[in-house]
Amino acid sequence: MSDTSNDMTWHGTTILAVRDENKVVIAGDGQVSMGQTVMKPNAKKVRQLGDGNVIGGFAGATADAFTLFERLERKLDEHHGQLLRSAVELAKDWRTDKYLRNLEAMMIVADKDITLILTGNGDVLEPADGVAAIGSGGNFALAAARALKDYEQDAEKIARRAMAIAAEVCVYTNDQLTVETLNSGG
């Protein structure tokens, strides 16, 4: 991928999930960029899913992400709200279905008990430390959140500060956040 002014690749998203003993938070920035142009500063990339017992955020092509969110909501209905089972079934479909296989997105989803990263490679990954991030600024937000966990106990404060740090160093991340929170099972 080139960094020329003719680069029409869509960039932009930082999605971060942080879990503490009381809640899980998913935060996403609002920037959508194409090449060197900010196309939209306030996109909503984080939302509640199903009956509100699952939250999720996406990085990648918006239409693809909404297709995946819809599929996940159907899986949640089929599997009575069981996020892990629904995510595994979605990942199987995503990897093997001729149409879904071409979708370009990643997702972080969480319920009161578990946080998962889903990819088109069939991955369903649970972070070991309750912190997960995806997208252009994901590594910046992930590093900041992991460092902040040593000094702060509140997941939302960690998420907001880590996203602010990512926005300071990643040109494809801004400070216009959407934040969704669920009470945790802990």
- Listed in sequence order, the residues at least 6 apart from 147 whose beta carbon sits closer than 8 Å to its beta carbon are none
- Token pair, residue 86, equals 């629904």
Whose structure tokens read 């972080």?
A: 108
4 is catalytic: no
Q: 3-class DSSP state for residue 29? A: coil
Active-site pick, 9, 13, 14, 173 = 13
CB 151 within 8 A of CB 6: no
Q: Which residue from 137, 117, 124 is spatially nearest to 19, judged by alpha carbons?
A: 117
- Please list the active-site residues: 13
